[in-house]
Amino acid sequence: MGKWLARLTALGVALVLAAPVTAAQAADPATTGKKTVRIGSIQSVDSMNPFLAVRLIAGQLQRWTYMFLTAPDPKTLKPGPDLAESWESSDDGLTWTFKIRQAKWSDGQPVTAHDAAWTFNKIMTDDAAKTGNGPAVENFETVTATDDRTLVIKTKAPQASMLSNPIPIVPKHIWEKVGDMATFENETYPAVTNGAYIPIEHKKDNYVKLKANPDYWQGKPKIDELQVIFYENPEAAIAGLKKGDIDLIGRLAAPQFEAGAGDPNIVQWNTPGRRAAYLQINHGATTSDDKEIGDGHPALKDPKVRQAIHHAIDKQALVDQVQNGLAVPANGSIVPPMYTDFFWEATGADKISFDLAKANQILDEAGYKKGDDGVRTMPDGKRKLEMRFSIHTDTPTEDKLAQFLTGWFKEIGITLTTRKLDSNKFTEETGSTALFDIAISGWSVNPDPEEVLATHLCSRRPTPTGEGGGTESFYCDKQYEDLYQSQLKELDATKRADMIKQMQQRLYTDAPVIAIYYPNNLELYRKDRITSITPIPAGKQGEGILYGGASGYPMITLDAPAVATGASAEGGGSNTGMIIGIAAAAVVVLGVGGFLLSRRRKTTSDERE
């Protein structure tokens, strides 16, 4: 057996040493003179079918490969033209007329208003097609194409967010052949799209390759190929970036972002984020018919207690410790400062600052007496202020946040125990059954905040039978409700923004939710590989984001040097560690051979389909 192993080992050495060389040689002719950019993602694509996909990465791919009715203007993020060159709405705000751009699908067919009409009608009529973007057409009455260039949408009620529609328009002549939308994977390549890029290959859970669309209406992108590479392990993704396996990665957590520091080739792109993180407080949850539901702590019904809790949160410390300083402490509510038009923050006397003494004083005055163990009891002496804090499993930042809150709350006589729930249970307990006291929450806000504002409406509360309606707070407040209805009908942008600010103020003072911070959008890219990229919004330096926004503009503006790609980075100095892997590699080769055979068979059967 010894001799046999030795022979294998020798073979392995030879093969492994040869590997990078052959790989580089094989790759060379293909990549020379070609501009390729590789984007890393710590999430794989759930579906290439835009009617089904819900993950962020899938949404991004849609932004890069399809046209939308409108797209945010890269400078202002206000709705700008995309598939629709121009539009107008009727005086009652119920009828919208869009003029469709003259463009071509990547198979040469013309893009018409019928494609758009078919896409919207499909979602309105086929339940399976609702999975991805169902709510976006909920308010649509009819969608019709009056001719090739004109699309008319009639809505049931005025809809201010009409121009931020998140639905990619698909080619009717391809998609009308699809039988069952629920199982259609849309894995034919090259795909037929009309955006800046065209998907040419997708290896599930591995990568997606896109090539530049020469006929794109804003002009062909400067690079030839855009690749998205999936990582399961964020640490490995950062290692990949440092090695040059990927060129850009977005949506990072603070520790990974900081790992990019000190590398001369890596740019740390730290910009205001579109997410608000807040605490959801069970202030006496009710169902949509105003019956009490759940088991929230009675003390939390008292606005004084909620206020005291607000005083016991050191938002700056949370930013420093939980987000490594890469966030903005929230003195406002659910709309992050990135959206200057709608952002509101408390100033002067309204502002609630970290003050444990003040918190203790409020609770003392309200009659919650501290016991010998330092824990307060209700004024009637019946129940201690022992509360649960619900967070998700597998979220280190929430875990850390819980540790801090527990520490501070102890100082004001409230015992906090952390409950980690998987997202199923979490969503149910904090969204419909109300089996919580305080819970972590957050929302990524779109340029138009209507969606997030709606999550605090009375109608969003669970039904009497306990079905969730999508509430983020079980909130039901007359003043808030009235403001919401008025902003919905208000077509004057400034007045509407003002109403939205008032709504946030109401949330801040009444505290059904307490905003903690607005995490920054953290991204890293290699400046030796990406020579230019324009963020959105493109206005001020260092403000816009590159990946994950509501527009694919940054990826359209990418430029890269035309050289052989990062694979060659592995080429040099392969000798030292090789020795360690040699024994393994030797036999690995044998196995791969077998696997390849089975793979061969699989590919042929795929082609047959």
Q: Which two tokens stand for residue 568?
A: 């060659």
Q: Report the phi/psi class of residue 251: left, alpha or beta, with left for phi > 0 and alpha for psi in -120 to 50.
A: left
Residue 463 C-beta: closest distance to another protein, Å: 5
Eight-state DSSP code of residue 578: H
Nearer to another protein, 423 or 479 (CB): 423
For 4-32, letters b (16+ CB in 10 Å) and e give: eeeebeebbbebbeeebeeeeeeeeeebe
* Pairing relationship of beta strands 150-155 and 197-203 according to DSSP bridges: unpaired
Nearer to another protein, 37 or 145 (CB): 37
In sequence order, which ranges of 143-215 are alpha helices (DSSP H)?
Answer: 172-175
Applying the rule CB under 8 A, the residues between 534 and 573 that interact with another protein are: 565, 567, 570, 572-573
Going by C-beta distance under 8 Å and a sequence separation of 6 or more, which residues neighbour residue 31?
563, 564, 565, 567
Residue 267 C-beta: closest distance to another protein, Å: 17
Residue 116 C-beta: closest distance to another protein, Å: 23
* Residue 160 touches another protein, criterion: CB under 8 A: no
Residue 409 C-beta: closest distance to another protein, Å: 10
Rounded CA gap, 88 and 100, in Å? 12
* Residue 259 touches another protein, criterion: CB under 8 A: yes
Residue 101 C-beta: closest distance to another protein, Å: 29
Rounded CA gap, 269 and 257, in Å? 9
With CB under 8 A, what is the number of residues at the site for another protein? 117
Residue 215 C-beta: closest distance to another protein, Å: 25
* Residue 371 touches another protein, criterion: CB under 8 A: no
Nearer to another protein, 149 or 425 (CB): 425
* Residue 454 touches another protein, criterion: CB under 8 A: yes
* Residue 158 touches another protein, criterion: CB under 8 A: no
Closest CA to 300 of 388, 427, 417, 373: 388
Residue 455 C-beta: closest distance to another protein, Å: 6
Q: What's the count of helices (H) and strands (E) in the chain, helices before strands?
A: 17, 21
Residue 111 C-beta: closest distance to another protein, Å: 27
For 461-470, letters b (16+ CB in 10 Å) and e give: bbeeeeeebb
Asked if residues 46 and 205 have their Cβ atoms less than 8 Å apart, the reply is: no
Rounded CA gap, 552 and 557, in Å? 9
* Residue 130 touches another protein, criterion: CB under 8 A: yes
* Residue 108 touches another protein, criterion: CB under 8 A: no
Residue 48 C-beta: closest distance to another protein, Å: 11
* Residue 190 touches another protein, criterion: CB under 8 A: no
Applying the rule CB under 8 A, the residues between 408 and 437 that interact with another protein are: 408, 418, 420-425, 427-429, 431-432
Rounded CA gap, 347 and 508, in Å? 12
Asked if residues 271 and 521 have their Cβ atoms less than 8 Å apart, the reply is: yes
Nearer to another protein, 366 or 578 (CB): 578
Nearer to another protein, 455 or 505 (CB): 455
Asked if residues 209 and 201 have their Cβ atoms less than 8 Å apart, the reply is: yes
Nearer to another protein, 98 or 436 (CB): 436
Cis amide bond preceding 561, omega within 30: no
Residue 241 C-beta: closest distance to another protein, Å: 10
Residue 263 C-beta: closest distance to another protein, Å: 11
* Pairing relationship of beta strands 438-444 and 386-392 according to DSSP bridges: parallel
Q: Which of 188, 403, 485, 532 binds another protein (CB under 8 A)?
A: 403
Place of tokens 């896109």: 210
Rounded CA gap, 558 and 533, in Å? 5
* Residue 182 touches another protein, criterion: CB under 8 A: yes
Q: Which of 78, 149, 242, 304 binds another protein (CB under 8 A)?
A: 242
Asked if residues 337 and 521 have their Cβ atoms less than 8 Å apart, the reply is: no
- Strand ranges (DSSP E) for 2-94? 36-41, 70-72, 79-81, 84-89
Nearer to another protein, 22 or 479 (CB): 22
Q: Which of 147, 185, 292, 350 binds another protein (CB under 8 A)?
A: 185
Residue 219 C-beta: closest distance to another protein, Å: 26
Nearer to another protein, 193 or 441 (CB): 441
Closest CA to 126 of 165, 187, 178, 69: 178
* Residue 127 touches another protein, criterion: CB under 8 A: yes
Asked if residues 307 and 318 have their Cβ atoms less than 8 Å apart, the reply is: no
Applying the rule CB under 8 A, the residues between 377 and 396 that interact with another protein are: 393-394, 396
Nearer to another protein, 513 or 538 (CB): 513
Among 105-113, 189-197, 459-467, 480-488, which window interacts with another protein (CB under 8 A)?
A: 459-467
Among 146-154, 210-218, 293-301, 463-471, which window interacts with another protein (CB under 8 A)?
A: 463-471
Applying the rule CB under 8 A, the residues between 298 and 327 that interact with another protein are: 317, 321, 324
Residue 117 C-beta: closest distance to another protein, Å: 22
Place of tokens 């806000």: 445
Rounded CA gap, 334 and 161, in Å? 18
Rounded CA gap, 544 and 338, in Å? 9
Residue 376 C-beta: closest distance to another protein, Å: 19
Q: Which of 89, 112, 193, 256 binds another protein (CB under 8 A)?
A: 256
Nearer to another protein, 202 or 496 (CB): 202
Q: Exposed/middle/buried for 557, CB within 10 Å: 0-12, 13-18, 19+?
A: buried
Applying the rule CB under 8 A, the residues between 33 and 92 that interact with another protein are: 38, 46-47, 49, 52, 54
Q: Which of 11, 94, 124, 239 binds another protein (CB under 8 A)?
A: 239
Among 70-78, 97-105, 466-474, 554-562, which window interacts with another protein (CB under 8 A)?
A: 466-474
Q: Which of 154, 156, 243, 369 binds another protein (CB under 8 A)?
A: 243
Rounded CA gap, 306 and 359, in Å? 10
Nearer to another protein, 381 or 396 (CB): 396
Q: Which two tokens stand for residue 419?
A: 């409950």
- Amino acid code (one letter) for 565: T
Eight-state DSSP code of residue 221: -
- Strand ranges (DSSP E) for 120-185? 140-147, 150-155
* Residue 584 touches another protein, criterion: CB under 8 A: yes
